[in-house]
Amino acid sequence: MNKKYAIYIAAIIIIVSIISGAFILNNYNPGSTNTETQNLSVIDDEGYATNFASVPQRIISLAPSNTQILFGIGVGERVVAVTDYDHYPYDFAAWIAAGNMTSIGGFSTPNKETIASLNPDLILATPINDPDVVTLRDLGYKVLVLNPNDVNGVFKDISIVGKATGADQNATTLVNSLTSKINAIEAKIAAANLPAPKVYYEVWTPPLMSAGNNSFINDVIVKAGGENIFGEETQQYPTVSSETIVQKNPDVILLPTMAQTDEAPFYGSVDTVKARPGWSSISAIQNNRVIVVNGDLFAEAGPRIADQIEAAAKAFYPDLF
């Protein structure tokens, strides 16, 4: 397995750590952002209060989901640096190569010297960056840590970033649009009155890992009309056994592609999964409902959360969507 990608997956699992490009562009409205002086305090997901005397104009994002929020609320032109894993809603690698954007390095290993050279007035981080966050704050930088673990958490973080960047109106517009899309999906499923399929989402193997109750993936499954077979697990991404999966007998198995790489999936292939010892008795295997989903789409809890729910709903109810 590619070491760089393994670090990325590990980071996503720890933090529990996204809409189409067209949606972002349609919601980008520079006229509704405030660049005037402000005096406010913003509390992040770790309860840390950051005071802003002015609207941030030079922003660094330490996570792809944070970058997507910034562009989603129309302040992307203020972003001066992103990670090596950022590629949505634009090809940031090409921007970096052309000298139009700076890379601060890996998702969990940001280069603090590069950060300092860019003189940011706002840094958006995640809990995987906590050791660096302490250092950065000690150096005088304003850092907000975002850590959503469900749909409402994503909405909250969009609002937090909107408040901090003077883009409250754009943030509200984005949240309202996402809410409307998700509500429509849920209403369509409810009207069909179909039994909820039992779902197994494979996060990683080996060891086998799935999504627990406190993960955004669990919320995506539920809002898409499914029943997460590990929805009672208190760990966000618990290690599970093959025997337990067989016993729980999922109706649908979701397998993500490798996010942002051309590598073969960590599980091998759909045929490899179907051939696992004892799995031939699972309903999803017998009914050919082992479904590959876009691992890049499902990798982060951000503004594409409605697209995640829609993709899951299509997998669960192909006749409805």
Amino acid type, 5: Y
The phi and psi torsions of 168 (rounded to 5 degrees) equal -55, -45
Q: Under a CB-based contact definition with an 8 Å cutoff, are residues 221 and 252 in contact? A: no
Q: What is the pLDDT of residue 62?
A: 97
Q: What is the pLDDT of residue 34?
A: 58
Tokens of 238: 């618990």
Q: Is 20 exposed, middle or buried (0-12, 13-18, 19+ CB in 10 A)?
A: middle
- What residue segments make up the domains of the chain, in order of their start? 18-176, 185-316
The phi and psi torsions of 96 (rounded to 5 degrees) equal -65, -45
Per-residue pLDDT in tens (0 to 9) along the chain, 321 residues: 444 444 444 444 444 343 333 333 344 444 456 555 578 999 999 999 999 999 999 999 999 999 999 999 999 999 999 999 999 999 999 999 999 999 999 988 999 999 999 999 999 999 999 999 999 999 999 999 999 999 999 999 999 999 999 999 999 999 999 999 999 999 999 999 999 999 999 999 999 999 999 999 999 999 999 999 999 999 999 999 999 999 999 999 999 998 766 678 999 999 999 999 999 999 999 999 999 999 999 999 999 999 999 999 999 999 999
Q: What is the pLDDT of residue 258?
A: 84
Q: What is the pLDDT of residue 263?
A: 79
Tokens of 136: 């950065």
Q: Round to whole Å and give the CA distance between 230 and 232.
A: 5
Fold match, 18-176 / 185-316: yes
Nearest by Cα to 108 from 243, 246, 5, 2: 5
Q: Round to whole Å and give the CA distance between 299 and 257.
A: 10
Sign of the CA dihedral with 38 first, then 41, 42, and 44 last = positive
Q: Round to whole Å and give the CA distance between 274 and 248.
A: 16
Topology of domain 18-176, CATH: Rossmann fold (3.40.50)
Q: Under a CB-based contact definition with an 8 Å cutoff, are residues 88 and 82 in contact? A: no
Q: Where are the alpha helices (DSSP H) in the chain?
A: 3-15, 21-26, 64-72, 92-97, 112-118, 130-138, 151-165, 168-192, 216-223, 242-248, 270-274, 283-286, 305-316
3-state helix, strand, coil in the chain (%, to 5): 45, 15, 45
Tokens of 202: 């494979």
The reported pTM is 0.88
Nearest by Cα to 308 from 296, 290, 317, 320: 296
Q: Give 110's DSSP letter.
A: B
Peptide bond into 256 cis (omega under 30): no
Q: What is the pLDDT of residue 37?
A: 57
Second CATH level (architecture) for the domain 185-316: 3-Layer(aba) Sandwich (3.40)
Q: What is the pLDDT of residue 14?
A: 43
